[in-house]
Amino acid sequence: MSEIKQLKGLIDKATRIVFFGGAGVSTESGIPDFRSEKGLYKAKQEYGRSPEEMISHSFFVREPEIFYDYYKKNLIYPDAQPNAAHLGIAALEGAGKDVRVVTQNIDGLHTAAGSTHVYELHGSVLRNYCLKCGAKYDLAYIMDPAHCVPPGGGEAGHVPYCEKCGGMVRPDVVLYEEGLDDATVKGAVDAIAKADLLIVGGTSLVVYPAAGFLNYYHGKDLVLINLTATSADRMATLAIREPIGEVFAALG
């Protein structure tokens, strides 16, 4: 495929590479996009609310039990494994390339694949912390019903509680109505600004503020890998309309 050959050529000559990825990278690992039409329909049918409302800061504060019921059913996929895209990006780093990953996904699959410089703009489902004392917990902890019993006793629900102080534990993810982490944004912007090759994959570039990060890129080559057109196509050196996993698998 001529596009794959062209992409390989751009990668070979690049010194600093940034991969900027969206939900389309995770869907190939069997993690559905909760913002999709199907996800919206499912949320409306079961909860009578939109996904954006249920994973908002105000809803978490107001209805933590319903929040966690939805969150655990729709955003947690503990059996998901890195796909060819995650592995291909990590392989570039393993081959000696300077590669940074900026992701809008919260599944931790880039790190699981072996990438060591990952900026998780929206946080990670793998990290959780107590709102009262700050104690940190992994995913297994919050998914264990034994840790979802209210401090005063009673039946287990969906909300996890801290084993140290009894405070409510929340996921270390950026909810709607919340701002991105300053340090993560700074690191991501700095990496993009210093890159000479930016590969954007699995995103239609409509979710802000993340999509606006492309404005910080001043390098020579921009590659877009997405099944549908994006607002940045006119600026791209190369635009590939194929599943991102297939593209990286073809790179070898």
For the chain, the residue count is 252
Strand blocks (E) in the chain:
16-21, 98-103, 118-120, 123-130, 136-137, 169-173, 197-201, 221-225, 238-240
The token duo for 146 is 């034994």
Whether 122 is a known active-site residue: answer yes
Catalytic residue, from 122, 147, 158, 218: name it. Answer: 122
Burial class (CB in 10 A: 0-12, 13-18, 19+), 186: exposed
The single-letter code of the amino acid at 43 is A
Residue 138 makes CB contacts below 8 A (sequence gap 6+) with: 126, 127, 128
Could you tell me whether strands 221-225 and 197-201 are parallel, antiparallel, or unpaired per DSSP bridges? Answer: parallel
Catalytic residues: 122
